[in-house]
Amino acid sequence: MRFTLGRPVFALLLVALASGSAVLVRPAEPRANLVVWTFSQAQADFFRNSSLPRQFENRTGFSVGISLMGQSGENIRLASAFMSDGRGAAAPDLCEIEIDAIGQFLRPPIRDIGLLPLNDFLARSGWESRIVASRLAPWSKTDPATGRQIICGIPEDVHPVAIAYRKDLFEQAGIDLAQAKSWNEFQSLCQRFESFWASRGFHDRRAIALSTSNPDELLEMLLQRHINLIDSDEQLHFTDAKVLGTLTFYARMIAGSGAVAGEPSPGVQWTEDLEHGNICAICAPDWKVDDLRRFSPDLAGKIALMPMPRFEPDDSATSTLGGTMIGICRSCPDPERAWELLEYLVLSPQSHESAIAAGDDVLPAVSQYWSDPAYHRPDAFFAGGQSADDLFVTLAAQIPQRVVTPFTYQAELALGVVLHRSVTFLRQQGPEGLDDACAGWLADAQNDIGRRIEFGKIEP
């Protein structure tokens, strides 16, 4: 028999048929009874290496599947699953979401949010009173009808922020940085520090890392002053006097005659800045301290931690940066069982013990575990064996409430633009007129975000 299109095409057709049949015939991997999506390699490793999922399976007979995927990929897949209302792509039963990404998922009216409200589960199980209350806020949305906070996720961490600094270098300059209780005192000590090292030829040695490329540290300072750019009632706070004061102080730390800050290196390369003594202090949440330990082991014995200085007495001595939650998807067919798994994986004493055994130093959101001796023992990595976790436990109790709304990401982008303009103004024109200029830019940013919120409203 002849094939008119020739042998190569015939061969290609055969290959296509064979591979197509193989794909069709190949049995699909059976879906576990409960599927958890996570974006964190460390968390996936923890779940897989600990015996928690296996213990849960043995106890309940429900199989557990842990799926690791990139953070961006997970967010897009979740958004797609939630948008299709269960008719399209399959959603997992439980999912972990990072704090910067949660805003978009809280945008729909409460009945349409793809995550199941967990208030009843929390109240029934008694976990509500044991989880740090301020950490429930980022994963919550106010119900306009009742004014009640609807909780859509369980926080896995608190991430208090401290100042990590090169104690050895500050001591050589005759400065005890921990004595600084206010940011003004902190700046003065940093100026003395830089003068000392400049006179010994270290002209590029900067006292602290403050970024102009992103507003993370500025946001940390605002949070310690209990300011969220957008609060839970979607009120904007760009034009608050405290925002202006913090912004101009921050800009003066970076540029002008009182500058003491340098730009940290991107990614985790900031640890090298500290290691080489190019930058000698950094605002560090507990997870950044872990990075320091992991990527710069040579710093052992040279680093110390101190609480954040305050602007005013009623400011908090700490802030918070980053965070992850775990929630139950609305499409989950068995929410009761999913809650049981959630409790077992992230809230239970077994989960806490496994985390400690695995050497996880990140402070959990359940405050009763903070008394664990593991969080209070001396730590050889820090100067004088300072217990970093002990300090973080003390700070965690004062952690300010962080609110995330669907417009928070854009508000932070807008603040980043204002920050850049402020620093540029200070560098090019000096401090005269800075306050007025910043006030104008902040007002513009507030108007911009206000218009977006008004424009994006779906409900009357």
Partner 1 sequence: MTRQGWWKFQARAAPYLFVSPFLIIFTVFLLYPLSRSFYLSFHRTVGPGHQMFIGLGNYRFLLRHDLLFGLAVLNTAIYTVAFLLLQIPISLGLALLLSGRGVRLKSVFRFSFFSSYLVGQVFVGVIFFQFFSPGGLVNQTISALLGRRIVIGWLSNPAMVLPSVLIAGLWLATGYGMVYFQAALQAVDPELYEAAHVDGAGRCRRFLHVTLPGIRHVLVYMILIGAIGGFQLFELPFVLLQGAGPGGRGITIVMYLFIMGFNAGDLGYASAIGWLLVAMLLIIFAARLRFFRTHQEMTA
Q: Kindly tell me which of 88 and 430 has the beta carbon lying closer to partner 1.
A: 88
The C-alpha atoms of residue 344 and residue 251 are separated, in whole angstroms, by 46
Q: Kindly tell me which of 264 and 307 has the beta carbon lying closer to partner 1.
A: 264
Identity at 345, one-letter amino acid code: L
The C-alpha atoms of residue 298 and residue 312 are separated, in whole angstroms, by 36
Point out which residues bind partner 1 (CB under 8 A).
72, 75-76, 79, 82-85, 100-101, 103-105, 107-109, 111-114, 204, 211-214, 263, 265-267, 269, 272-273, 276, 278, 406-407, 409-410, 413-414, 416-417, 419-421, 424, 444, 448, 451-452, 455-456, 458
Q: Kindly tell me which of 360 and 444 has the beta carbon lying closer to partner 1.
A: 444
Q: How far is the CB of 232 from partner 1 (least distance, A)?
A: 18
Neighbours of 329 (CB within 10 A): 22
Q: How far is the CB of 336 from partner 1 (least distance, A)?
A: 24
Identity at 32, one-letter amino acid code: A
Q: Kindly tell me which of 114 and 323 has the beta carbon lying closer to partner 1.
A: 114
The C-alpha atoms of residue 67 and residue 74 are separated, in whole angstroms, by 10
Q: How far is the CB of 266 from partner 1 (least distance, A)?
A: 6
Q: How far is the CB of 145 from partner 1 (least distance, A)?
A: 16
Q: How far is the CB of 403 from partner 1 (least distance, A)?
A: 16
Q: How far is the CB of 407 from partner 1 (least distance, A)?
A: 7
Q: How far is the CB of 57 from partner 1 (least distance, A)?
A: 32
b/e for 59-80, b at 16 or more Cβ within 10 A?
eeebebbbebeeeeebbebbbe
Q: How far is the CB of 418 from partner 1 (least distance, A)?
A: 9
SS (H, E, C) the chain: CCCCCCHHHHHHHHHHHHHHHHHHHCCCCCCCCEEEEECCHHHHHHHHHCCHHHHHHHHHCCCEEEEECCHHHHHHHHHHHHHCCCCCCCCCCEEEEEHHHHHHHCCCCHHHCCECCCHHHHHHHCHHHCECHHHCHHHEEECCCCCCEEECCEECCCCEEEEEEEHHHHHHCCCCHHHCCEHHHHHHHHHHHHHHHHCCCCCCCECEECCCCCCHHHHHHHHHCCCCCECCCCCECCCCHHHHHHHHHHHHHHCCCCCCEECCCCCCCHHHHHHHCCECEEEEEHHHHHHHHHHCHHHCCCEEEECCCECCCCCCCCCECCCEEEEEECCCCCHHHHHHHHHHHHHCHHHHHHHHHCCCCCCCCEHHHHHCHHHCCCCCCEHHHCCHHHHHHHHHCCCCCCCCCCCHHHHHHHHHHHHHHHHHHHHHHCCCCHHHHHHHHHHHHHHHHHHHHHHCCCCC
Q: How far is the CB of 10 from partner 1 (least distance, A)?
A: 15
Contacts of 223 (CB under 8 A, 6+ apart): 316, 319, 320, 400, 402
Q: Kindly tell me which of 222 and 365 has the beta carbon lying closer to partner 1.
A: 222
Q: How far is the CB of 277 from partner 1 (least distance, A)?
A: 12
Q: Kindly tell me which of 340 and 412 has the beta carbon lying closer to partner 1.
A: 412
Q: How far is the CB of 460 from partner 1 (least distance, A)?
A: 11
Q: Kindly tell me which of 252 and 337 has the beta carbon lying closer to partner 1.
A: 252
Q: Kindly tell me which of 9 and 358 has the beta carbon lying closer to partner 1.
A: 9
Q: Kindly tell me which of 235 and 424 has the beta carbon lying closer to partner 1.
A: 424
Q: How far is the CB of 83 from partner 1 (least distance, A)?
A: 5
The C-alpha atoms of residue 252 and residue 430 are separated, in whole angstroms, by 10
Q: Kindly tell me which of 216 and 220 has the beta carbon lying closer to partner 1.
A: 216
Q: Kindly tell me which of 111 and 126 has the beta carbon lying closer to partner 1.
A: 111
Q: Kindly tell me which of 240 and 272 has the beta carbon lying closer to partner 1.
A: 272
Tell me which residue of 229, 193, 383, 376 sits closest to 306, measured CA to CA.
Answer: 383
